Amino acid sequence: MPNKPSDDSVDASAFARLLREAEVSDTRFAAQVNIRARQQRQIDLGLARTTIGHWRRGMRPRDPMVAELAAAELSAGLGYPVLPSDLGWRGESYRHDELGLTGAGAPVETLRTLAGLSGRDMHRRDLLQESTAFIATAFADPVLSSLTGVIDRVTGAHEPVAGSGALIRDVTETFRRLDAKFGGGEIRPQVVSFLHDQTRAARDRRPDRDLFSALAELTQFSGWLAQDSRRHGLAQRYYIQALSLAEHADDTMLAGRVLSGMSDQAAQLGHLRQSLALARAAMNRSADDSTWAVKAMLFDKQAWALARNKDEYGCRAALDKLDDAISRVGDDDEESPSWAGHYNLGDVAECRGHCLRLLERPEEAEQQLVGARALQGAARARTRSYAEADLALAYLQRRSPELEGALEASDRALDVAGQVTSLRIVTKLTELDDALSAHSTVAVREWRTRARPLLSGARPAGGPAAA
């Protein structure tokens, strides 16, 4: 009788998928769990090949201890942690899943953690959505480690694998372009799968700093995609691991970028003071060593954080520094990293417009957001839709609302949003829909009717959205 049934239920089982990934037969796995039970629990389980086959078909171990032993054996075979809950089993404890919430000091431990995190993301996306939550205090320890330099750097003159870092960067850049134009809904599974494969490959060899830096960039992007799909707990874990990878590589600029991403996520979840602290941490960590393009991105996030905290003086000062930084792009002795190459004058104008609207300066915001139309690239669909929606909100924010201008901008926002799968845009358009609902005109009702399929079809159930 064949050892591996071929029916669909077997292929769909989380246990079956991970067993295939570990490349171990039913007979061998049963024997290894039996050995583990004798060594660790001093009992003889007597598991047979047929029992493992039942598990692959969806049956569950009745004894929580057996579930723990089997999960531990899978972890050993895969090289990253697997919990009974990952398999849909009941283990001996229901401890909080803290995988990825702390940064490891040693590079190999970070790779092991990231392999486990991305592996779980691949195989149990729905469970990760339900079982992981954003924990505001979890950023504190990795940020402090970053600022104080206690994370181990990659050392030694290891022979790099030809093209490995460059390959990851090129693929990541392709994913970034697709995300900017179409949103991350369609590409996130492919990104996570690529991250998992590359992390496991790096774990099995001796990677150099360039490979760690490339993996940090890919992990930061994975965090952004998780954030934009409302998986905030998962995004937080990716950001923490991205920061550790950047520090292992001693990539100061990328560490600042990750800290800025943390700031943005904290702000979108209502942790405004923490968002400002993280934005300042990003500046303190990397501003002195960054190119002008990267400095501009750091000032951008700092200005947003200050605007959200209603610090107009500080925000305007940060915006002025942003203008100065973007004017100096090209003066650097070194070329900016590829992930900063997209930042342009359109982003600067949009940032100023967004901040001024938050500071309740709608007329000034309108000028910036209208000017950004001619400066922003057509491929930046998410950015353009968000800016048009904020422009519409600025028109409505006037002492005497300018409804005609608001509807024109609202139409533009909706036109561009139609091609983008992004909860950031859904959230912004929902905010605009709520603001327009106060104006009962035929044109407004027509816009709201037109927007309803996009908002109702993509609006997730409950909770704040990412931005």
Task: Give residue-wise pLDDT tens across range 215-254.
Answer: 999 999 999 999 998 899 999 999 999 999 999 999 999 9
Question: Would you say residue 133 lies in a domain?
Answer: no
The answer to the question of residue 1 being in a domain is no
Instruction: Kindly tell me if the per-residue pLDDT of 464 is higher than 80.
Output: no
31 part of a folded domain: yes
Tell me what percent of the chain is helix, strand and coil, each rounded to the nearest 5: 70, 0, 30
Q: How many domains does the chain have?
A: 1
Q: How far is CA 145 from the centre of its chain?
A: 20
Alpha-carbon distances, residue 171 vs 338, 378, 427 (angstroms) = 12, 21, 29
For residue 41, being part of any structural domain is answered with yes
Does 455 have pLDDT greater than 50?
Answer: yes
pLDDT level of residue 157 (50, 70, 90 thresholds): low
Residue 93: the pLDDT is: 63
Determine the pLDDT at residue 174. 95
Q: Range with the lowest mean pLDDT among 142-156, 304-318, 450-464?
A: 450-464
Question: For residue 82, what pLDDT is reported?
Answer: 81
pLDDT, one tens digit per residue, over 397-454 is 999 999 999 999 999 999 998 878 888 899 999 999 999 999 999 999 999 999 998 8
Quick check: is 70 in a domain? yes
Q: Which domain holds residue 18?
A: 8-87
Per-residue pLDDT for 27 more than 60? yes
Q: How confident is the model at residue 332 (pLDDT cuts 50, 70, 90)?
A: low
Has residue 5 got a pLDDT over 50? Answer: no
Residues 368-372 have a mean pLDDT of 96
- Under the banding of pLDDT at 50, 70 and 90, the label for residue 60 is confident
Note the pLDDT tens digit of each residue in 86-137.
Answer: 788 887 764 555 778 888 778 989 999 999 899 888 876 544 444 467 887 8
Q: What is the mean pLDDT of the chain?
A: 86
pLDDT above 50 (res 458): no
The answer to whether 430 touches 467, Cβ cutoff 8 Å, is no
Q: What is the pLDDT of residue 396?
A: 97
H-only helix segments in 124-231: 125-131, 140-148, 164-182, 188-203, 209-227
Q: Which residues contact 364 (CB under 8 A, 6 or more apart)?
A: 356
Using CA atoms, how far apart are residues 344 and 287, in angstroms rounded to an integer?
Answer: 18
Tell me how far apart the alpha carbons of residues 356 and 394 are, in angstroms, rounded to a whole number: 9
β-pair partners for 183: 421
Whether 72 maps to a domain, the answer reads yes
DSSP string, 184-196: STTTHHHHHHHHH
d(CA 143, CA 149) in angstroms, rounded, equals 10
The span from the CA of 91 to the CA of 81, in Å, is 14
Note whether residue 79 is domain-resident. yes
At 467, is the pLDDT very low, low, confident or very high (cuts 50, 70, 90)?
very low
Q: Residue 37 domain-assigned?
A: yes
Q: How far, in Å, CA of 101 to CA of 132, rounded?
A: 10
CA dist., res. 354 & res. 364, Å (int): 10
d(CA 125, CA 225): 13
CA–CA gap between residue 60 and residue 51 (Å, rounded): 10
- Residues 61-91: pLDDT tens digits? 888 888 888 988 888 888 777 888 778 888 7
pLDDT of 162 reads 53
Question: CB atoms < 10 A from the CB of 349, how many?
Answer: 22
